[in-house]
Amino acid sequence: MSLVTSRYNLTVPYEDGALLFNANSGAILHLHSEEGVELADALCAYPALFDLQGVDEVILERLLKAGFILDDTQDELSIVRERFNFSRQNASAVITVMVTNDCNLGCYYCFQSRSEDNLAGDKEANTLAYLKQRIESCGKKQVHINWYGGEPMLKRDYISRLSYALQAFAEDSGIRFEASILSNGTFWPKNPLAFVEEHKLTTVQITFDGTEATHNKIRRRRGKAGPEYNQFAEAVRVIDAIHKDCHVEVRFNLGPRNTQEIFDFVSFALQRGWLKEGSRTKLQLAKISPYSKGVDFIRSDQLLYAEFKQIVDRVRKLIPDHFFDSNTALGELPKPRRAVCSAVAEDSFIVGADRKVYNCGLQVGEKTSAVGSLERHNGNTVEQAQASWWRSFDPTERPKCKVCTFLPLCWGSCPKLHLEGDDHYLDEQSEYWRSTLPKRILNSVGATTEVAFNESQQFKTGKPTELDPTAGT
Ligand code: SF4
Ligand code: SF4
């Protein structure tokens, strides 16, 4: 048997030696001394034959078990592919219901085209029947409904009607029901916690653009009619009421117009107890980006990734790591991915307010992106072609991803970026992993050294060479 090094080995300097990490198994080893560093470096050469001569059996066993070396007949890429396909087939059904296209606020960067389209009214029975049919036919024992808009709370009564009907259906069918909502924090009822409990909301995401004055300026109210309200104060009221009982994602959108505001906002959130023990809040820092072609002007009015990262690093020093969402937290050592995004998960889909069915929430309203409609179950030719693209998305076949060391952790990032050939944002993903992964590896052993991977550590396309395996043993 010949043994070869894994493509997914990575190393960072640590204390007297090096940490060796395998992205496909999640295993980590501390190798001591100069010889340990040599062994780690040798194992990171790819692909390289591993000469068994003189290697301590215990070390060999450990390296094999942890996936740092493997039998040369094994195809690592197909292992990643199988894991991806298994996760896509076995993901729980996540159904996003875009209740309305309308929104009471007008953020300049919003990628959604606002309209009067909504799912409430005389076609409610149709929508319910469609959802029941899809839930029943997929055979999953758990369903998650994600209420989305526009601003979904503009149609709060409709959410309640549909939620109660689906909860009753799920109970009769022995299916576990849970839900989440993305809201701007306005138009909530007097008792937000009662609403959360009655609609089985496990997560509420509320977005901010700054402290009060900036938030209200960027998230300006649309339309003159109706009662006056303070959009910032409303969102704060909702979070105050629910953050100890429900998972709250406080998303802060960062762009060149509000970079300094995040620090005041974090102080404010700390004062309110949102980022202190006993709270179930997570802070999500998001870079304002042109999520659709309609807001392409943002390309020239956004933070560079390096600027964004600098701010994130500063904010990290202000609050405990576990109050960040998983993209920002350094948290634990990253594990190989087990969950696909809902756009490629079997049995997950989005019902648009235009009554069309989509795979990705960022495509809702794009006429040629639908994969079906509430009335037409099999879709027309364009819809079938779209559906087939999502079904066949495979990150292990994307030219860059298939040679990328981060693939088992990243799975090609966002499939929509591949669909649109958006290399700029795909490159940002590479940058994200190159700068974040070494920090997370070191953080797992309590170290905080500043180190980043480079492109040659990320993309491994070399030819087999002999390596000296005895170094460090
Ligand atoms: S980091 Fe980039 S190249 Fe690597 S898997 Fe993710 S998207 Fe693909
Ligand atoms: S394709 Fe991208 S934008 Fe769409 S749901 Fe998946 S990760 Fe999100």
Closest atom of ligand 1 to CA, residue 400: 3
CA of 2 to the centre of ligand 2 (A): 40
Average pLDDT over the chain reads: 90
Question: Is the shortest distance between the CB of 17 and ligand 2 below 6 Å?
Answer: no
Whether 262 is in the pocket of ligand 1, judged by its Cβ within 6 Å, is no
Residue to substitute in 426, 428, 454 for testing ligand 1 pocket (most ligand atoms within 8 angstroms of CB): 426
CA 411 to ligand 1 centroid distance, Å: 7
Is the CB of residue 415 below 6 angstroms from any atom belonging to ligand 2?
Answer: yes
Q: Residues, the chain, total?
A: 473
Q: pLDDT tens for residues 156-179?
A: 999 999 999 999 999 999 999 999
Q: What's the token pair of residue 17?
A: 């030696």
pLDDT of residue 333: 87
Distance separating alpha carbons of residues 277 and 302, to the nearest angstrom: 33
Question: Which atom of ligand 2 lies nearest, measured to the CA of 344?
Answer: 6
Q: Which ligand is nearest to the CA of 426?
A: 1
The closest ligand to the CA of 393 turns out to be 2
Which residue CA neighbors atom 7 of ligand 2 most closely? 414
Amino acid symbol at 410: C
- Pick from 338, 308, 376: nearest CA to 126: 376
Say how far apart CA 63 and CA 47 lie, in whole Å: 16
37 pLDDT exceeds 60? yes
Residue among 414, 417, 426 whose CB has most ligand 2 atoms within 8 A, to mutate: 414
The predicted pLDDT at position 473 comes to 42
Task: Evaluate: CB of 91 within 6 angstroms of ligand 2.
Answer: no
Task: Compute the distance from residue 421 Cα to the ligand 1 centre, in Å.
Answer: 13
Domain ranges of the chain: 3-82+451-467
pLDDT at 194: 98
Between CA 234 and CA 185 the distance in angstroms is 6
Ligand 2 near 426 CB (within 6 A): no
Higher pLDDT pick, 50 / 192: 192
pLDDT of residue 470: 46
Q: What is the mean pLDDT of residues 180-202?
A: 97
CA of 425 to the centre of ligand 2 (A): 13
3-state secondary structure the chain: CCEEECCCEEEEEECCEEEEEECCCCCEEEECHHHHHHHHHHHCCCCEEECCCCCCHHHHHHHHHCCCEEECCCCHHHHHHHHHHHHHHHCCEEEEEECECCCCECCCCCCCCCCCCECCCCCHHHHHHHHHHHHHHHCCCEEEEEEECCCHHHHHHHHHHHHHHHHHHHHHHCCEEEEEEEECCCCCCCCHHHHHHHCCEEEEEEEECCCHHHHHHHCCECCCCCCCCCHHHHHHHHHHHHCCCCEEEEEEEECCCCCCHHHHHHHHHHHCCCCCCCCCEEEEEEECCCCCHHHHHHHHCCCCHHHHHHHHHHHHCCCCHHHECCCCCCCCCCCCCCCCCCCCCCCCEEECCCCEEECCHHHCCCHHHCCEECCCCCCCHHHHHHHHHHHHCCHHHCCCHHHECCHHHHCCCCHHHHHCCCHHHHHHHHHHHHHHHHHHHHHCCCCCCCCCCCHHHHECCCCCEEECCCCCC
Q: What is the pLDDT of residue 65?
A: 95
For residue 117, what pLDDT is reported? 81
pLDDT at 226: 63
pLDDT per residue as tens digits for the range 62-77: 999 999 999 988 999 9
Q: Is residue 343 in contact with ligand 2, taking CB distance under 6 Å?
A: yes
Q: Are the C-beta atoms of 141 and 135 separated by less than 8 Å?
A: no
Residue 23, token pair as written in the block: 């992205």
* pLDDT single digits (tens) 384-427: 889 999 999 999 999 999 999 999 999 999 999 999 999 998 99
| Whether the CB of 415 sits within 6 Å of ligand 1 | no
From the CA of 395, how far away is ligand 1's center (Å)? 9
- For ligand 1, atom 3, the nearest C-alpha belongs to 401
Structure confidence by residue, pLDDT tens digits, 289-347: 766 666 566 566 788 888 898 899 899 999 998 999 987 888 778 899 999 999 999 99
Q: Which protein residue's CA is at the shortest distance from atom 4 of ligand 2? A: 360
Give residue 436 CA to ligand 2 midpoint distance, Å.
21
How many angstroms is it from 125 CA to the middle of ligand 1?
43
> What local confidence, expressed as pLDDT, does residue 262 receive?
95
Ligand 2 centre and the CA of 395: distance in Å?
A: 13
Expressed in angstroms and rounded, the spacing between residue 251 Cα and the centre of ligand 2 is: 17
- Give residue 288's pLDDT band: very low, low, confident or very high (50, 70, 90): confident
Full-model pTM: 0.87
d(CA 377, CA 22): 44
Mutate to test the pocket of ligand 2, among 84, 344, 360 (most ligand atoms within 8 A of CB): 360
Q: Residue 10's pLDDT is what?
A: 98
Helix (H, G, I), strand (E, B) or coil at 425: helix
Read off the pLDDT of residues 3-12 as tens digits, 9 standing for 90 and up. 999 999 999 9
Work out whether strand 247-254 and strand 201-208 pair parallel, antiparallel, or are unpaired.
parallel
| Position 349, amino acid | F
Supply the pLDDT for residue 247.
Answer: 98
Asked whether 106 and 186 are in contact (CB, 8 A), the reply is no
Element (H, E) at 168: helix 156-173
Banded pLDDT at 122 (limits 50, 70, 90): confident
| 426 or 464: which leads in pLDDT | 426
